[in-house]
A = this chain, B = another copy of it.
Amino acid sequence: MATKPSIPKGTRDFLPEEMARRNYIFDTIKSVYTLYGFQQIETPAMENLSTLMGKYGEEGDKLLFKILNSGDFMNGLTDDELLGRNSVKLTSKLSEKGLRYDLTVPFARFVVQYRDQIKFPFRRFQIQPVWRADRPQKGRYREFYQCDADIVGSNSLLNELELIQIIDEVFHRFGMRVAIKLNNRKILAGIAEVIGAPDKIVDITVAIDKLDKIGLDNVNAELREKGLTEEAVSKLQPVLAMGGSNTDKINELASILSSSETGMKGVEEMRTLFSLIDTVNIRCAVEADLTLARGLNYYTGTIIEVKALDYQIGSITGGGRYDNLTGVFGMDGVSGVGISFGADRIYDVLNGLNLYPEATTRKTQIIFLNMGDAETAFILPVLKRLREAGVPAEIYADAAKFKKQMSYANDRAIPYVAIVGESELQNGVIALKDMTSGEQCNVTPDELISKFVK
């Protein structure tokens, strides 16, 4: 095998530095989730196809990675089935398991399966990879991590508040300036209702979503194309023109939507949420934003989206409330609300703005060079004491050339190099080189320990 090995397209290896940065992201999110009382779970990479199929639309079914059945999978197929070469039909014969496509459907399955063991309201978080047979492109991978938190079994808007606080805290820890944008599906439904086009909610919100990109005239043209009457388009104009503070927007919506029960419920939810937000002093900007149209096929209340302020990239976190997560698995009446941090995009922003703390990637503090067996015997107990004190430390394993060892320490960006040669050994000292300043001095083992252990 002479060809250089490779990995499947759309997948990634993570080298140590990249890995350390990713861990910084996951660990930060994890510790904030824990601070807010969320409990971690994990589900298997593989789910039964019966769990996954039909949950992500027809396109989603195609994008599921399916596992070939083990053993003699060709047995039991008729000649007609085989010669028909219908890949879609044969999939169900050849495969009964698929890789998880997101964390939401496995979580819904989990809630139903363990309903008797779970204490509701259940605050769970889950950080695991998902797989999609999408066409790979820049920033879109076939394997990527999701970082979800959901609260199920509670209708209270306090849950929305806490998720917003979590977002605020996470990005504060990252040192990233962000804006949190809020919408409410009930408001969107109310708008569709009062302009007399209740069945056009998706078209309307998709159009609203494009306002920034294509401008008011084009949005109106598109709405007419989608079958909205002139009257409906005209009634929609105050919504499209809406501006001012969050309170202004909410007051205006209350007046526009006064005839719609659903719409007014949405307005009240948003009003309550903003007044809760006022009690806790959120650091980042929180804005009511009707152009938010994410997840309209499943969100039923609050919709949340987060944008980075200092870096050009799509939404870096999103979420919302759904009324019937588990209905498809036969358990009705479970309302939930959740968010998902987009780890890959956050990674890009932190890289782009150079926001990683230095300690993220610099783990090993000191390396002992290897000058031979006698010197090593002197070093090993000192090394052990450093590690016992919690200082990540290494010894170069081979008595290689000095230059090679120094170059290793340098490449690894280890801040201190400790050298014990013949003369140091005779005097019972260690030559300690500060790789940043280039300074070098002799220290006793005790002095070395106290330098590193604070």
Contact = CB atoms under 8 A, between A and B. Distances in A.
A62 to B, nearest CB: 7
Contact of A143 (B46, B94, B124): B46
A5 B143 contact: no
Interface stretch (A237-245, A292-300, A380-388): A380-388
Contacts of A131: 45-46
A354 interface: no
A4 B86 CA distance: 31
Contacts of A176: none
A1 B398 CA distance: 63
Interface string A97-109: 1010000000001
Given A8-B46, A397-B151, A41 B68 contact: no
Contacts of A11: 44-46
Contacts of A329: 1, 5
A431 interface: no
Contact of A68 (B95, B159, B161): B95
A313 interface: no
Interface residues of A, number: 113
A185 interface: no
A75 interface: yes
Contacts of A109: 5, 7
Contact of A70 (B20, B133, B276, B380): B133
A79 B151 CA distance: 53
Contacts of A4: 112-113, 330
A82 to B, nearest CB: 4
Given A151-B397, A397-B151, A85 B77 contact: yes
Interface stretch (A29-37, A197-205, A435-443, A446-454): A29-37
Nearest to A85: B74
A260 interface: no
A377 B328 CA distance: 36
Contacts of A70: 62, 65, 133
Interface in A69-127: 70-75, 77, 79, 82-83, 85-87, 90-91, 94-97, 99, 109-110, 112-114, 117, 119, 121, 123-124
Contact of A87 (B15, B75, B165): B75
B394 A7 contact: no
Contacts of A58: none
A328 B13 contact: no
Contacts of A45: 11, 45, 99, 129, 131, 143
Contact of A67 (B44, B66, B363): B66
A408 B113 contact: no
Contacts of A121: 396-398, 408
A28 interface: no
Contacts of A36: 387, 392-394
Contacts of A364: 37
A325 to B, nearest CB: 13
A193 interface: no
A85 B380 CA distance: 62
A395 interface: yes
A40 B68 contact: no
A392 B30 CA distance: 12
24 contacts: A7-B113, A11-B44, A11-B45, A13-B41, A13-B42, A13-B114, A16-B41, A20-B39, A23-B40, A36-B387, A36-B394, A45-B143, A46-B142, A67-B99, A74-B87, A74-B90, A75-B85, A75-B87, A77-B85, A121-B397, A123-B394, A155-B398, A161-B380, A280-B380
Interface of A: 1-8, 11-16, 19-20, 23, 34-37, 39-48, 50-51, 62, 65-68, 70-75, 77, 79, 82-83, 85-87, 90-91, 94-97, 99, 109-110, 112-114, 117, 119, 121, 123-124, 129, 131, 133, 142-143, 151, 154-156, 158-159, 161-162, 165, 169, 276, 279-281, 328-330, 363-364, 367, 370, 376-377, 380-381, 384, 387, 390-399, 408, 411-412
